[in-house]
A and B are shown apart, each in its own frame.
Chain A
Amino acid sequence: MDKKIKEKRRWKPSGRTLRNWVYAYIFLAPWLIGFFLLVAYTLERSFYFSRQIVAITPVGMVFIPHGFTNYADLMQHTFFIQNLVSFVIQSALQIPVIVSFALIIAILLNGKIRARGMFRAIFFLPVIIATGPVMNELTGIGAATVPAVNTAAIAGALSFLPPMVQSPVVSLFGQLIMILWNSGIQILIFLAALQKISVEQYEAAKIDGASGWECFWKITAPAIKPMVFLNAIYTVVWLATSGQNPVIDQIAFFMHSGFYGYGFASAAAFIYSGLVLLLLLVCFLILRTRKEKVPKLVKRLDKRNW
Chain B
Amino acid sequence: MKRCKMVTILLALAVTLGLLAACAGNGNGNGGGVTANLEVATQQPGAVAAPQGERQLPPMTTDNITLTFSIWHYVDIAEYLAERFMERHPNIRVEVLHFPGAGYYMDTLLAYAAAGELPDVFTFLDLTLPVNNGWFFDFTHFWHNDPDYHYLLESMQHLVYIDGRAMKLPEAILPQLVAVDRNVFNMLNVPMPRFDWYWDEMIDLMSSMTRPDLGIFSFNQFLGPVTWGPVVLNDALSEFGWDGERYNMYEWARYMNFEAEMERLGHRAMYGSDEWEALTGDRYLWPGISGRIAMQFDASWTWNNYWVRDFIRDQGIDMVPYAIPMGRDSVTNRRPAFTDFAAISAGTPHPREAYELLKWMTFSPEAWHYRNYMTPQLLNAAGDVIFHIPNRFPATNCPDVWADFRQLFPLDEPAWDYLMAASKEPVPLGGRHILGFGEWHRDEHAYGDWNGVIGIGNAIRAGVLDAFDAVHRMEETGRAAYEAALSRFRLMFGPPPAR
Contact = CB atoms under 8 A, between A and B. Distances in A.
Contacts of A279: none
B378 interface: no
B491 A64 contact: yes
B266 interface: no
A182 B144 CA distance: 62
A58 B132 contact: no
B439 to A, nearest CB: 5
A55 interface: yes
A79 B345 CA distance: 33
Interface residues of A, number: 17
B128 A56 contact: no
A259 B133 CA distance: 9
Contacts, number: 56
B444 to A, nearest CB: 13
A149 interface: no
Contacts of B347: 57-59
B113 A258 contact: no
Nearest to A58: B347
Given A58-B346, A64-B491, A79-B447, A258 B133 contact: yes
Contacts of B348: 58
Nearest to B113: A56
Contact of A57 (B107, B113, B127, B449): B113
A65 to B, nearest CB: 12
Contact of A59 (B110, B346, B449, B492): B346
B129 interface: yes
B492 A56 contact: no
B430 to A, nearest CB: 14
A256 B107 contact: yes
A231 to B, nearest CB: 36
Most chain B beta carbons < 10 A, residue from A53, A58, A261: A58
Interface string A250-265: 0000001111010000
A60 B116 contact: yes
Given A55-B134, A57-B135, A59-B347, A258 B129 contact: yes
Contacts of B106: 256, 258
Given A58-B118, A79-B447, A258 B345 contact: no
A157 interface: no
Contact of B134 (A62, A78, A79): A62
Interface in A44-83: 53, 55-62, 64, 78-79
Contacts of B345: 58
B132 A259 contact: yes
A58 B116 contact: yes
Interface string A225-267: 0000000000000000000000000000000111101000000
Contact of B128 (A59, A60, A79, A259): A259
Nearest to B491: A64
A163 to B, nearest CB: 9
A66 to B, nearest CB: 11
A261 B346 CA distance: 19
A258 B116 contact: no
A61 B110 CA distance: 12
B75 to A, nearest CB: 22
Contact of A56 (B114, B127, B439, B447): B114
Nearest to B104: A256
Most chain B beta carbons < 10 A, residue from A59, A62, A257, A259: A259
Contacts of A64: 491
B134 A258 contact: no
A269 to B, nearest CB: 17
Nearest to B112: A58
A257 B438 CA distance: 11
Contact of A261 (B132, B135, B447, B491): B132
B113 to A, nearest CB: 5
A60 B128 CA distance: 18
A258 B437 CA distance: 12
Nearest to B136: A58
Interface in B208-264: none
Interface in B101-142: 106-107, 110, 113-114, 116, 118, 126-135
Contacts of B491: 53, 64
Nearest to B132: A258
B103 to A, nearest CB: 11
Interface string B88-103: 0000000000000000
Interface string B294-324: 0000000000000000000000000000000
B110 A56 contact: yes
Contacts of B132: 55, 258-259, 261
B419 to A, nearest CB: 34
B492 A55 contact: yes
Nearest to A57: B134
Contacts of A257: 128-129
Contacts of A58: 113, 116, 118, 134-135, 345-348
Contacts of A78: 449
B463 to A, nearest CB: 20
Contacts of B129: 257-258
A78 B455 CA distance: 13
Contacts of A259: 128, 132, 438-439
A98 to B, nearest CB: 31
Contacts of B135: 57-58
A238 to B, nearest CB: 26
Interface in B448-499: 449, 491-492
A288 to B, nearest CB: 41
Contacts of A61: 114
A62 B126 CA distance: 20
B289 to A, nearest CB: 25
B130 A258 contact: yes
Contacts of B492: 55, 57, 62
B118 A258 contact: no
Nearest to A252: B107
B364 to A, nearest CB: 24
Nearest to B348: A58
Contacts of B447: 79
Interface string A26-55: 000000000000000000000000000101
B284 to A, nearest CB: 16
Contacts of B439: 259
Nearest to A262: B114
A254 to B, nearest CB: 12
A258 B449 contact: no
A35 to B, nearest CB: 24
B153 to A, nearest CB: 27
16 contacts: A53-B491, A55-B133, A55-B492, A56-B110, A56-B133, A58-B113, A58-B118, A58-B348, A62-B492, A64-B491, A256-B106, A256-B107, A258-B127, A259-B438, A261-B132, A261-B133
What 5 A-B pairs have minimum CB-CB distances, sorted nearest first?
A58-B347, A258-B129, A258-B128, A58-B118, A57-B134
Interface of A: 53, 55-62, 64, 78-79, 256-259, 261
Given A55-B132, A57-B135, A258-B438, 15 more contacts: A53-B491, A57-B346, A58-B118, A58-B134, A58-B347, A59-B347, A60-B116, A79-B447, A256-B106, A258-B126, A258-B129, A258-B132, A259-B128, A259-B439, A261-B132
